[in-house]
Amino acid sequence: MSRPDRRELVTILLLCLPAVLAPTLPAWWEPATAWARLWTTAAEVIVICAAVLASRRAPVLPMLAVLVAGTWNVSEGAASFQFWGLDLPSFKVLPLNGLTLAVIVLSHRAGRRAPDPRPALRAFAALLGTGAAAVLALSLLGGPRPAPAVTAFWLPALSGVLLSGLLPWSVGLLFRQRAEQRLRERRLAAGQARLRERNRITQDMHDSIGHDLALIALRAAALEMAPDLPVRHRRAAGELREAAADTTERLHRIIGVLREDDPAPLTPSEESVSDVVERAVASGMRVELRGDGSLRDPTARRVVQESLTNAAKHAPGAPVTVEVLGGPAEVTVEVTNPAPRATMGRPRGGPSGPSGGMGLAGLRERVRLAGGVFEAGPWNGGFRVTARLPRTERSDAERSDAERPRAERPGAEATREEDPRSPGGTGETGETEEDMDVNMDVADGVR
C-alpha cells in the first residue's frame, strides 16, 4: 500500500474528530467507565484509519466494515419516528455515533470510486434483506407486541443503512456517472475534431497531388503532339496523359467519399499567413503581424486562421499579435491576445474561412501529424497559441506553382523556349504558340 497523501490525512483527521470528541459505548457494554470509553475511542480511530487507507484500492469493503461497526450503538439518532395507528414505541432514525460521519463519507467515496456498482448493490441488498427478515421474524414470534429489539436495534439499524449508507453511495454513483459522461463527450469531441482535421489534410493532399498529376498530363500532351517523335512514342505519351487524367478523377472521387460531410474550403489553398491576417483586418479585427508573413505552410496557415477565429469569438475587440519566426530547422508561429475589455464592441466578424468547430483539439492533431509541437493556454491574463513546425521546402517557397504565370510553370519552359533554328518562332518540339495553348487547355481539363 502506498503512502497516504495530504488529502487523505486531512480526511482521517476530520473523520476521527466525532469519535474523539463524543465517544459512544455499545449499549451492551457495562460498566461505562472512563477506560471503556478510551478503548472504544481507540477502536473507532483504528477502524476509521484502516478504512480510509484501504478505500483507495477497494472502496466497497471498507465502507461495509465501517457501516457494520457503526451499528454497535443506535441509541441516539437524528430524529424519532413512530408508526401512526400502531401500538409500537418510537425508535431512532439515522443513528448518530462516532462512526456516522465516516459511514457517510466512505459510502459516498465508494459510489464515486468503485468501477462496478453491482457488488455494493448486492451488499446493500443483503444487509437490508437480513434486517427486514429479522424484523418480520421478531414481529411474528413476539405475539401482539413485537420484541423490544425491533424498535431498539433493527429499525434504527435499517434506517442507518438506508440514510447513512445507501443514500450517500447513490449520490456518489450519480457523480461518477456524470463525470464519465462528460469525459466521453470530451473524447468524442476531440475525436471528431481530429477526424475533421484529417479530412482537411486529405483535401490539401488532393490539391497538391492533383496539381502534380496535371503537370504530368501537360508534359505528356506536349510530347503527344510533338511532330519529331515517332508514332509509337506519341501514342505512349497519349496513354500516359489518359492515365494521369483517370488517376486524377479517381483521386477526386476517393477524396470526395472521405469528405462527403465536410464542405470544401472557401479560401485559397496557397495563401500566405499575411493573406490570412489581411482578411482578418478587413473583417474588423485589430491584428499586428510580425516576422515573415510570406510563409505558405498549410499547417501554419491553419493555426493562424483558427487562432484568429477563436480570438474574435472569445476576446472580441482585443488586439491580436501574430508572430512568425523562421529558423534553420523549424518555424514558430505564435498568436497572442490580451483579455477582452468590457467596453470593447464585437467586430463585424472573424477571419473568413472555415473553422467548422475544429478548435484546439484539431489544431493539436494537425500539428502533431506535421511533426511539430503545439501549445495553447492562458498567458499574462490573455491567451497564447504556439506551434513549432519543422521547416519544409513548401514552407520556404514564396510562390506556389498555382500562382506562377503560365510561362513559368514547370514543363512550360522547355516548350516555350524559342528554337533559333525555327524562323516561325516555334519551340524545340516544333509547336507553335497556338499548339501550346491547346495543350494548356487539355491539361486544365485534366484538373
Q: What confidence score (pLDDT) does residue 315 get? A: 80
Q: For residues 111 and 75, what is the distance between their CA atoms, to the nearest angstrom?
A: 28
Q: For residues 350 and 366, what is the distance between their CA atoms, to the nearest angstrom?
A: 21
Q: What confidence score (pLDDT) does residue 265 get? A: 47
Q: For residues 102 and 377, what is the distance between their CA atoms, to the nearest angstrom?
A: 40
Query: Residue 290 carries which side chain, given as an amino acid letter?
Result: R
Q: What confidence score (pLDDT) does residue 284 get? A: 74
**Phi and psi torsions of 392, nearest 5°:** -125, 170
Q: Note whether 333 and 273 are within 8 A (CB).
A: yes
> Cis peptide before 31, with omega less than 30 degrees from 0?
yes
Query: Residue 363 carries which side chain, given as an amino acid letter?
Result: L
Q: What confidence score (pLDDT) does residue 261 get? A: 52
pTM for the full predicted model: 0.51
Q: What confidence score (pLDDT) does residue 335 get? A: 95
Q: What confidence score (pLDDT) does residue 408 get? A: 44
Higher pLDDT, 37 or 304: 304
> Cis peptide before 119, with omega less than 30 degrees from 0?
no
| Residues β-bridged to residue 320 | 287
Q: What confidence tens digit (pLDDT) does each residue in 396-445 have?
A: 554 344 344 434 444 333 333 333 333 333 333 334 433 434 333 333 43
Q: What confidence score (pLDDT) does residue 240 get? A: 87
> For 396, what's the count of Cα atoms within 13 Å in the CB-facing half-sphere?
8
**Burial call 416-443: b when 16+ CB within 10 Å, e when fewer:** beeeeeeeeebbebebeeebbeebbebb
Q: For residues 10 and 49, what is the distance between their CA atoms, to the nearest angstrom?
A: 11
Q: Note whether 248 and 210 are within 8 A (CB).
A: yes
Given a cut of 50, whether residue 162 has pLDDT beyond it is: yes
> What is the DSSP code string of 210-233?
HHHHHHHHHHHHHHHT-TTS-HHH
Cell 464519465, residue located: 180
Degrees (nearest 5) of the Cα angle 56, 59, 62?
105
Q: For residues 351 and 309, what is the distance between their CA atoms, to the nearest angstrom?
A: 6
Q: What confidence score (pLDDT) does residue 438 get? A: 35
Residue 91's Cβ-count burial label (10 Å; 0-12, 13-18, 19+) is buried
Q: What confidence tens digit (pLDDT) does each residue in 69-83 have?
A: 888 788 888 888 877
- The shares of helix, strand and coil residues in the chain, as percent rounded to the nearest 5, are 60, 10, 30
Nearest to 93 by CA among 164, 168, 146: 164
Task: List domains and CATH numbers for the chain.
Answer: 6-187 (no CATH), 191-264+404-446 (no CATH), 273-396 (3.30.565.10)
For the chain, give the mean pLDDT.
Answer: 76
The grid coordinates of residue 274 equal: 499575411
Higher pLDDT, 174 or 361: 174
Q: For residues 316 and 310, what is the distance between their CA atoms, to the nearest angstrom?
A: 9
Q: By mean pLDDT, which of 164-173, 359-368, 391-400, 428-437 is the weakest?
A: 428-437
Q: By mean pLDDT, which of 130-134, 146-150, 176-180 is the weakest?
A: 146-150
Nearest to 435 by CA among 446, 423, 424: 424
The grid coordinates of residue 75 equal: 441509541
